[in-house]
Amino acid sequence: MGQLQEVARFLFAAGGAMHPEGKGMHLLYTQRSILTLKYWTGVVFGDQELITASIRTDSTASYLITSVLRLIFCISASSYIRALSFDEDEEEWVDREIPSLQVHPRGHLAATAGTDGQFGVFFQDPSCRLIHLDHAWRTTPLPSHAAPGSPISVLRTGNAVRVFYISEDRHLHQVSRHSDGRWSDERVSKCVFPDIPKRIVAGQRTYDRSTLEVYMLTEDNTMRLALQDGKMYDLGKVDCNGDLWARDTAVCCREVPLPMGKPERQNCTQKPKRAKLISLPTFSIKRRFTMNGTNAAACYV
C-alpha cells in the first residue's frame, strides 16, 4: 500500500521527479498562481522552495533533475511555456530564454530527461496538437488527436520515449518515437473515459514491459487504475494532503499548509480508514512507474 500512496501523492501534485538517489520525491505544487517545490522524504515534507508567483492557476509543471541538469517547466499566467533554472549565485529560480510557445487554455505539459541531460517537453498547443520541444528548443508536432485539456504522461525506458494522452474518442493513446526519429500514434487500452481525468501517470511491469497500467486522478480526486484490457478500478479518494483514503469514508480534518505558510482548515465529519483495495485484481509482480519521465520506485500492489 505504501508505494500506491506515493503514486497518489505524485498524482495530486502539479508535477515532480524522483530524487536522483531514490531518496524520496521532489514535488511541485500550485496554489492559485504560486508554484512551490517540496521535498518528500517518504515520511514527511522537508525543504520547500518558492519557484515563481506567476503561473496559470492550478496548471501542471515538470521538474527535471539529473547529475548535469536542473530545470523546471511550467505554464505562465498567459498560457505560454516557461523554463526556469536555479541560479547558484542569486540563489533563486530564474527564467531561461526560450522560444514563444503557447499552450492550449486547458492544456498540460510533461517532460523527460536522459542521463546525458538531453530533455524533451510535451504540451498541447491552442489547436489541440501535441508538440514535442527538444533540448535545442526545436518543436515537432506529433501525430495525435488529443482531446482538449488532455493530461499527458511520459514513460522513458532507456532512450525509448512514449507519450500518453486521452484522445478525442476518449481512449488512451500513446505516441512513441522510433529509432529513425519518426513518431507514431496508437490506441493502447480498451478503456473509455467519459470524463477527462486531470492527471495520469503511466507504468509498466518490470518483468513484463508489454503490460501497461495507467493511474489517474479525476476532477473529484478519485484515484483509478486503468488496464489495457479495458478494466478500470476505483482505488479511493485522495485528500487535500495527497493521501489516499477509502472511497466510502469522509476526508479527515487536517491543517493544510499553504505555500506561504498559512494553514487552511478543511471540513470533516469523521476520521477515515485507509483505503482497502478489495476490488483490485491480485498482483504479484513488481512494477516500475515513470513520473513525468523520471523513474519512480518499483511498486508492489
> Does 277 fall in a domain?
no
Phi, psi of 11 (to 5 degrees): -60, -35
Query: What is the domain count for the chain?
Result: 1
Give residue 285's pLDDT: 32
> Does 270 fall in a domain?
no
pLDDT in tens, 290-301: 455 544 432 322
Give residue 20's pLDDT: 81
> Does 249 fall in a domain?
no
Burial 128-150 (b: 16+ CB within 10 A, else e): bebbbbeeeeeeeebebebbeeb
> Does 10 fall in a domain?
yes
Give residue 252's pLDDT: 36
> Containing domain of residue 133, as a range?
2-217+285-299
Which CATH number covers residue 197?
2.120.10.70
Closest CA to 146 of 162, 119, 124: 124
> Does 126 fall in a domain?
yes
> Does 190 fall in a domain?
yes
Give residue 53's pLDDT: 95
> Does 266 fall in a domain?
no
- Mean pLDDT of successive 10-residue segments in the chain (301 residues)? 84 92 90 95 91 95 90 98 93 95 98 88 98 96 97 89 96 92 94 94 72 93 94 94 71 31 37 39 39 40 29
Give residue 10's pLDDT: 95
Residue partners of 136: CB distance under 8 A and separation at least 6: none
**What CA–CA distance (Å, rounded) separates 15 from 34?**
14
Widest CA span in the chain: 57
> Does 172 fall in a domain?
yes
